[in-house]
Amino acid sequence: MDENKSSYRVRIKIGEKEFEVEGDREFVEKNAEILFNKLYQETTSKETGTVREEKPNFNEFINERAKIFGKDPDQLSGSQKILLIAYYVFKFEGGRDFTYDDVEKYSQEARLSGLANPRQYMSELIRKGFVKEGEVSEGKKKTFKILRGGIQYVESGFKESYETVEKSSETVSS
């Protein structure tokens, strides 16, 4: 190896699995992150007993999520239900944008109540910075994208971070 280049090595062990990456800084950072994420997902999936090779149906998904939050799916707010639909479409349908048709389809599939007027909830999610309007699809349907804040909000169990609360109050006062 060139004397001017430093060699880096990272060893990560999660549970019984371990890996090591060695090389220049860029190589180590890139590959260590990829391997860590893969190893972490495998390990946590096995620990929680939720190993799935295929996507869960939406009804299973929302029931599991609601249970994690300590609620029944119908106890979730309308905006939380829509955000779970957006998260499901993002995670299990290739990261695509979602539409009002998705909201209707998945709310009917899971027999969710309280989504008669999804537009009011969508406005709230956009204002809070969880979702943004996307392009108009080929079928002339309005699409929406779940944003990082929305993903984090779902993954945190619907606990708003300080930044989100601060952003929503800035939006209201502007």
Our CA angle for 85, 106, 53, nearest 5°, is: 75
Q: What is the pLDDT of residue 170?
A: 44
Query: 3-class SS at 16?
Result: coil
How far CA 35 is from CA of 9, 11, 17, 46, in Å, comes to 14, 11, 11, 17
What's the CA gap between 30 and 35, in Å, rounded? 9
Q: What is the per-residue pLDDT for 54?
A: 65
Instruction: Give strand pairing partners of 144.
Output: 98, 133
So what's the pLDDT on residue 3? 53
In whole angstroms, give the CA distance from residue 18 to residue 43: 11
Range of the domain at 24: 8-48
pLDDT tens-place values along the chain, 174 residues long: 455 567 888 776 665 667 777 888 777 777 766 666 666 566 555 545 544 446 788 988 898 888 877 788 888 899 999 999 999 999 988 888 999 999 999 999 999 988 888 999 999 999 999 999 988 867 788 899 999 999 999 888 887 654 444 444 444 443
pLDDT score of 159: 79
Q: What's the half-sphere exposure (Cβ side, CA atoms, 13 Å) at 52?
A: 10
Residues 131, 88, single domain; the answer is yes
The predicted structure's pLDDT at residue 43: 55
Q: Can you read off the two tokens belonging to residue 134?
A: 């996307």
For residue 126, give the CATH number of its domain: 1.10.10.10
- Count of structural domains within the chain: 2
